[in-house]
Amino acid sequence: MPRWLSFWRVPKNKSDLKRLDELTKSLDMSKLPVHIAIIMDGNGRWATKRGLPRAMGHRSGVESLRDIVKVCSSLGIRYLTVYAFSTENWKRPTEEVNILMDLLVEYLKKELKELHQNNVRIRAIGRTDELPEKASKALVDAQNYTENNTGLTLNLALNYGGRNEITDAVKLIGNDIAAGKLSPESINEELISGYLYTAGIPDPDLLIRPSGELRISNFLLWQAAYSEFWYSPVLWPDFRRVHLLEAIIDYQSRQRRFGGLK
């Protein structure tokens, strides 16, 4: 086991350990998804089920994120994009929004060094300049600190909305046309991809949504056109390495045709 995984929340009972071992053996390391995207859902329900405040669900969700980042990095996954705060999440009570922002700052503060030592590059996608100052500053610092890293790229989707992203891209394209830098005839799918927040990052191969919800919720609308979806009833704070491996193994069994024939 790579040293970095030593803090992984190892399953406590024998049957879970056996399952983890079986899954690890079934994994085809030559067919890993290049880009995994995750909608980290179910924190609130996890807390409510235990009679805890929602904040505790988010705090526990951060622990799942820490673990999944380490596993993805150790497996050699190139890109991990996580939906941490949507453009719609501002509708939540101010107290909950503040808690989420504080958790983000705390996560970056606590993890940055270790992420950097493990060659992880942090990137933020979304209208991050509209986040509270301490959060946007922490993000800018983390991105600068890790910008030359060549291992896993961790994309944090914050104040992110797929429709906003496309709207922002259309505005930028319009500006470039008005400035004479671009002709309308040159607009194609590749060009549009290059104007998105995810410019330069391949589309997600695998999109994971825990918590039993079967929606895309305004996440990576353009990029997920041919992503393989994997859903699970497990709530995000309960999401473990075993679930990630199940998702990847299921992905490896799929036949991707991208609209063509095999």
Is residue 89 annotated as a catalytic residue, yes or no? yes
Q: Is there binding between residue 218 and ligand FPP (CB under 6 A)?
A: no
Among 35, 58, 121, 243, binds ligand FPP (CB under 6 A): 58
Give min distance, CB of 48 to ligand FPP, in A.
7
CA 67 distance to own-chain centroid: 13
Residue 89 vs 143, nearer CB to ligand FPP: 89
Q: Does 40 bind ligand FPP (CB under 6 A)?
A: yes
Stretches 2-10, 18-26, 54-62, 140-148: which one binds ligand FPP (CB under 6 A)? 54-62
| Closer Cβ to ligand FPP, 99 or 201, answer by number | 99
State the nearest-atom distance from the C-beta of 125 to ligand FPP, in Å.
Answer: 12
The size of the interface with ligand FPP (CB under 6 A), counted in residues, is: 17
From the list 13, 21, 43, 89, the catalytic residue is 89
67 is catalytic: no
Helix H, strand E, coil C: the string for the chain is CCHHHHHCCCCCCHHHHHHHHHHHHHCCHHHCCCEEEEECCCHHHHHHHCCCCHHHHHHHHHHHHHHHHHHHHHHCCCEEEEEEEECCHHHCCHHHHHHHHHHHHHHHHHHHHHHHHCCCEEEEECCHHHCCHHHHHHHHHHHHHHCCCCCCEEEEEEEECHHHHHHHHHHHHHHHHHCCCCCHHHCCHHHHHHCCCCCCCCCCCEEEECCCCCCCCCCCCCHHHHCEEEECCCCHHHCCHHHHHHHHHHHHCCCCCCCCCC
Of residues 128-187, those binding ligand FPP (CB under 6 A)? 156
In terms of Cα–Cα distance, which of 243, 220, 207 is closest to 157?
220
Burial grade of 216 (CB within 10 A; 0-12, 13-18, 19 or more): middle
Residue among 13, 16, 21, 41 flagged as catalytic: 41
Which residue minimizes CB distance to ligand FPP? 44
Which C-beta is closer to ligand FPP: that of 44 or that of 161? 44
Report the residue from 37, 55, 56, 65 that binds ligand FPP according to the rule CB under 6 A: 65
Only one of the segments 6-14, 55-63, 115-123, 162-170 lies at the binding site for ligand FPP (rule: CB under 6 A); that segment is 55-63
| Shortest distance (Å) from residue 190 CB to ligand FPP | 30
Binding site for ligand FPP (CB under 6 A): 40-45, 58, 61-62, 65, 84, 89, 100, 103-104, 107, 156
